[in-house]
Amino acid sequence: MISMEILVASGLGLVTAAGVYLLLRGRTFPVVLGLTLIGYAVNVFIFVMGRLWSNANPLLIGEGAVADPLPQALVLTAIVIGFATTGFVIELALRSRHENGSDHVDGREPQGGEGVR
Partner 1 sequence: MNMLLDLWWQHGPVLAVVLPSLTAVLLLLIGDDGGMAAQGGQHETGRLRWRRRVALSSALLGLLMAVGMVWRASQGDLLAYRLGEWPAPFGIVLVLDRLSALMVLLTYLVAVPVLWYACGGWDARGRYFHAIFQFQLMGLCGAFLTGDLFNLFVFFEVLLIASYVLLLHGQGRERFRMGLHYVVLNLTASGLFLIGLAMLYAVTGTLNMSDMAQRVAQLTGESALLARSAALVLLVVFGLKAALVPLYFWLPGTYAAASAPVAALFAIMTKVGVYSIIRTHWVIFGTEAGEAALAVADWLLPAALTTSALGVLGALAAHTLGRLVAYLTVSSVGTLMAAVGLFTPETLSAALYYTLHSTLVVAGLFLLVEQMAAQRGETGDHLRPAHAVREPVLLGLMMLFGAASAAGLPPLPGFLGKLMLLQSSHGLAAQPWLWTVVLGVGFLTIVGLARAGVIVFWHVQPAPGGGAVSGGSAQLLSATWAFMVLTVALAVLAEPVKDYTDQTAAQLGDRTAYQRAVLGDLGSSTRPYNGDR
Binding site for partner 1 (CB under 8 A): 23, 28, 31, 35, 38-39, 42-43, 45-46, 49-51, 64-65, 68, 70-71, 74, 77-78, 81, 84-85, 88-89, 92-93, 95-96, 99-100, 105-107
CB of 62 to partner 1, least distance (A): 13
**Distance in angstroms (rounded) separating the CA atoms of residues 36 and 26:** 16
CB of 10 to partner 1, least distance (A): 16
Q: 2 vs 65, which CB is nearer to partner 1?
A: 65
CB of 103 to partner 1, least distance (A): 10
Cα angle 28, 31, 36; round to 5: 130
Q: How many CA atoms lie within 13 A of 110 on its CB side?
A: 12
**Distance in angstroms (rounded) separating the CA atoms of residues 112 and 17:** 28
66 — phi, psi (to 5°)?
A: -120, 140
